[in-house]
Structure 1
Amino acid sequence: MFFWIIITALALFCAAILGVAVLRGRAGAEPPAAYDLRVYRDQLKEVDRDLARGVINEEDAERLRAEVSRRILAADAKLREGGQAGGQPTWAGWAMTGLAVAGIGGGAVLLYSEMGAPGYTDVPLKGRIAASDAARANRQTQAEVEAQMPEAELPPDVSEDFLVLMEKLRETVEKRPEDQRGLALLVRNEAALGNLAAAYQAQQQLIDVKGDQATAPDYALLADLMVSAAGGYISQEAEAAIRAALEREPREPRARYYLGLYYMQVDRPDAAFRTWRTLLEESQPGAPWVPLIRSRIEEVAWRAGVEYQLPEMEDAPGPSAEDVEAAGELSDEDRADMIRGMVSRLSERLANEGGTAQEWARLIGAYGVLGQTDQARAIWEEAQQVFEGREAEMEMLRAAAQEAGVLE
């Protein structure tokens, strides 16, 4: 309420200043016609002085006196007609005053209702930080969040044979709970089926088996699966997984992305912006978290009070428009052959000419999708030699290798 009293008083004060100026009808302490009369009388005296000094002759003096006298009569008539108001109609002054009050007061209220936050109480920095700390302390657990989620459905294209193989895989892992390769396969396939809760439970079991050997990507994958199972909400357990990943590798990209998302959820857009901006600047255009960050970082910057312009993104390499159009007209078998041909050409080019880490990651992922695990593993091993010591590129390659099932 105090805020509205202040802005109302300011609007009325500004309108009153304009209204007084309009109602007075002049800028000085006398009507404009009175000022003109004084000037014209001075001009008559000046004509007499010029005549006495011989600057002008008698004929010019008479002509000037007649012209100045005519102006004096006109100004005097205007002064008598307008009076002290200077000839301005009274109703026009009051009308302009009313418009000023309505325009300034009403315009200010309308502008604030569109761009401000009516009804939102003042929250100083100390209060916002305290509220954020409270939001952190009161995060829901993973189980609480999942209890609110709808039951997952199997993908429509899953075959019965695959489901039978999954049952066998689960039985095998149950009998051999320390089999790291079996656990990694279980994580990947449970996630493919949409059983995200089962996937992250298997990933947690894999981390427990690895013990101190568990890596930052292991924990980042655990956080990824937990967040996905919770519909994007970062629970207490998911936050712990994010922190564990960053403790082992502070530049782990997926963990940094989720850390920024976590900051947004606990109302710390300033920390979220710093985290995402650094990650965006260090990432290759084809990284999976890049479009997610680009779609929200400008809003995050605005909420953080930072002026930020999203940089242009370089086009990620991929098939041309003609390739896509041609693939749409092929049969499934021909399309698969076309994809294999594109992958083969990419492999040859990288082997002969080299390429970016993004292209190497694409090749690893493509072989993984095609089920050619041996080729994906060979490319991954070669990429490690090519990009040795370049940690940012290696993070992208590790993620691709893990998705392809060649890195545990």
Structure 2
Amino acid sequence: MFWLGILIVAGVALLPALYGLRRLRRRVDARDSALTLYRGQLAELDRDRDLGLVSGDEYGAARIEIQRRLLAADESSSAPDLNEGASRSKRFLPVLAVGFGIPLAAFCLYIVNGHPSLPPQPLSSRQVKPDAKAMAMIQKLQAQVSTIPKDNPTYETGHVLLGQIEARAGLTSEAIADWKVALDTHFTPELAIQLAELQTQKDGHISANSLDLYRRALAAAPADAQWRMAVEARIAVGEHEENNGQ
């Protein structure tokens, strides 16, 4: 059933492309257009002669010229075209490319990046730890921030920035610790939400501590904060988990 669904989705996605190719194949070629044009000119020339709009000499000269062009167009198209088979194959190449190439490429891409039989891959297992050089720089920053006195104006900022660096590097526990220090120094709703989100990501659920942070952030949030609804939704999920003993 899974592969049937994939085929149906692929067919629906290819319908616009196949429809466009079908319209291209229906185009009138230059030869048919030329023959229709010259035959129409002959009919108009006969009508003008019957109405007396052209003289006999003008009629004869014009008719000969139109017939010459008509024959030239007909002969050039009726001559055996050695490349006709090749041109036909070229016309079918886009159809083959769209009809088979795109689904095949999509299938290969899916097989490389995912498969129904693949086990789940939690975020924690997919996070790449920093290399030795990056880790050395982070440890250097940690040592520098640890020497900042609490009464220094840069104490809170240093821990906030260090936590951001650690969070990006996948050092979740270290980032949580630094952001807690910054929040204990000065509570800001935005940092409280970041800390709660990071703790939820680490724990796999909204813990009591994270739920408290969401509530405090919502209480201190400006009335026009764009993230109020998102935090309210988080609180609702956390309360539901808390009531169900999770």
* TM value normalised by structure 1: 0.29
* TM value normalised by structure 2: 0.42
